[in-house]
Amino acid sequence: MSETITAAPSAKTEAAGVQQLSMQQALNRALDEVLAANPKAVIFGEDCGRLGGVFRITDGLQAKHGEDRVFDTPLAESGILGMSVGLAMAGFHPIPEVQFDGFAYPAINQVVCQIARMNYRSRGTLPMPITLRVPSFGGIRAPEHHGESLEALFAHVPGLKVVSPSNPHDAYHLLKYAATRPDPVIFMEPKSRYWQKGPVDFTTTDHNPTSDAGTADSGHLTGARVAREGRHLTLVAWGAMVSRCLQVAELAAEDGIDIEVLDLRWLKPIDAAALARSVGKTRRAVIVHEAPLTSGLGAEVAQLITQSCFATLKAPVERVTGFDVPYPSGDLEDEYIPNIDRILFGIQRVLEYRRG
């Protein structure tokens, strides 16, 4: 179903500290290095041990690090997250996996009432250094409950940090960074991008644990990333939609429209300074996400843009999103997930807007 870490980079890329890896391989390597560096790190979830997970993200880790460091759990998400709380209290750094995003719903009580609140409730005596990995979003034509967009739900909860990588390099460094945090991090992995290959630079210090997420320095993994420079309009996206927005930008360039693509990466805290810089330059913005429109995270992003760029915006901020219906099963995904045409129409509406 996926590839294990057997990539054989060329001597040139290996010497430069850069390898071509899939996101699955990059995440696997990051977890391997976290386990090696931190004896208190433990990985667990449904099929995470012997099988290596449905998407093989933990492939080979149990054999290498032992059954007490990487292990399987019963089919009970509330138990997985409840156990994470107890392990964190005991001084461990749990890295649980919820097998699919739709399976997270039974564990929401543990996430909201315990993981997110325990540090606050204990006045800092019981931090929750938990990195919850959640294979997220659609695009793999899976059955119902196997594709969801829960970012707005998690981002709404005080005490949680939320992050979603869009490429192998960011996946590797963001996961290593998240695994050093004293706070709970919801790590939303775009499952449709697991097999996308790209360069991973192992020489960068982007995941320096002395930095804080949400800083204004978009050159580091603690903030947003300009995935493509542009002048006429900013597309804001995260996770799997970043790749789609880059495709749209290339098509728009054929008509002379220069699109900037901003990969938000951190969904909580949001890098408001990066939004202000990008939209302050282009003066137009379209936000793209898979989740439903109403109360989606795009509304929060739009407010941050309006707050900082109101005086210079040439058009209202547009959103191109999923529909206000339950996330459909695989045979209807193509109709639900924002496609290239819908994003291009959103861009057209913004570019053609004229004040009354």
| Residues 252 and 326 placed together within one structural domain of the fold | yes
Q: What is the mean pLDDT of residues 156-173?
A: 96
Q: Is residue 179 in some structural domain?
A: yes
Question: How high is the pLDDT of residue 241?
Answer: 97
Question: How high is the pLDDT of residue 212?
Answer: 40
Nearest Cα to Cα of residue 242 among 284, 196, 303, 203: 196
Q: Is residue 149 in some structural domain?
A: yes
Say if CB 21 and CB 193 are below 8 A apart: no
Q: Which two tokens stand for residue 273?
A: 């300074």
Report the C-alpha gap between 336 and 326 in whole angstroms: 10
What's the pTM value of the predicted model, to 2 decimals? 0.90
156 is catalytic: no
Give φ, ψ of 291 to 5 degrees. -65, 165
CATH code, 272: 3.40.50.920
Q: Is residue 14 in some structural domain?
A: no
Q: What is the mean pLDDT of residues 86-102?
A: 94
CATH code, 83: 3.40.50.970
Residue ending a domain, among 201, 216, 247, is 201
Question: How high is the pLDDT of residue 6?
Answer: 34
Question: How high is the pLDDT of residue 247?
Answer: 97
Question: How high is the pLDDT of residue 80?
Answer: 95
Strands (E), the chain: 18-22, 41-45, 70-72, 93-97, 131-136, 161-163, 185-190, 197-201, 225-228, 233-237, 259-263, 266-268, 285-292, 318-322
Residue 205 pLDDT grade (very low, low, confident, very high; cuts 50, 70, 90): low
Residue ending a domain, among 185, 201, 217, is 201
Range of the domain at 300: 225-351
Q: What is the mean pLDDT of residues 103-114?
A: 93
Question: Does 42 score more than 50 pLDDT?
Answer: yes
Say if CB 141 and CB 327 are below 8 A apart: no
Number of domains in the chain: 2
Annotated catalytic residue, options 65, 146, 207, 220 = 146
Q: Which amino acid is at 264?
A: L
Q: Is residue 35 in some structural domain?
A: yes
Nearest Cα to Cα of residue 278 among 247, 243, 239, 313: 313
Q: What is the mean pLDDT of residues 347-354?
A: 95
| Residues 29 and 174 placed together within one structural domain of the fold | yes
| Residues 141 and 249 placed together within one structural domain of the fold | no
Question: Does 302 score more than 90 pLDDT?
Answer: yes
Q: Is residue 9 in some structural domain?
A: no
Question: Does 7 score more than 50 pLDDT?
Answer: no
Q: Is residue 2 in some structural domain?
A: no
| Residues 154 and 252 placed together within one structural domain of the fold | no
Instruction: Name the percent of the chain lying above pLDDT 90.
Output: 81
Residue 169 pLDDT grade (very low, low, confident, very high; cuts 50, 70, 90): very high
Q: How far is CA 47 from CA 97, 169, 276, in A?
A: 9, 25, 43
Give φ, ψ of 22 to 5 degrees. -80, 165
Report the C-alpha gap between 300 and 260 in whole angstroms: 20
Residue 137: DSSP 8-state: S
Question: How high is the pLDDT of residue 279?
Answer: 98
Question: Does 168 score more than 70 pLDDT?
Answer: yes
Report the C-alpha gap between 347 and 167 in whole angstroms: 24
Residue ending a domain, among 186, 201, 216, is 201
Question: Does 4 score more than 60 pLDDT?
Answer: no
Residue 126: DSSP 8-state: S
Strand partners, 266: 163
| Residues 148 and 36 placed together within one structural domain of the fold | yes
| Residues 188 and 232 placed together within one structural domain of the fold | no
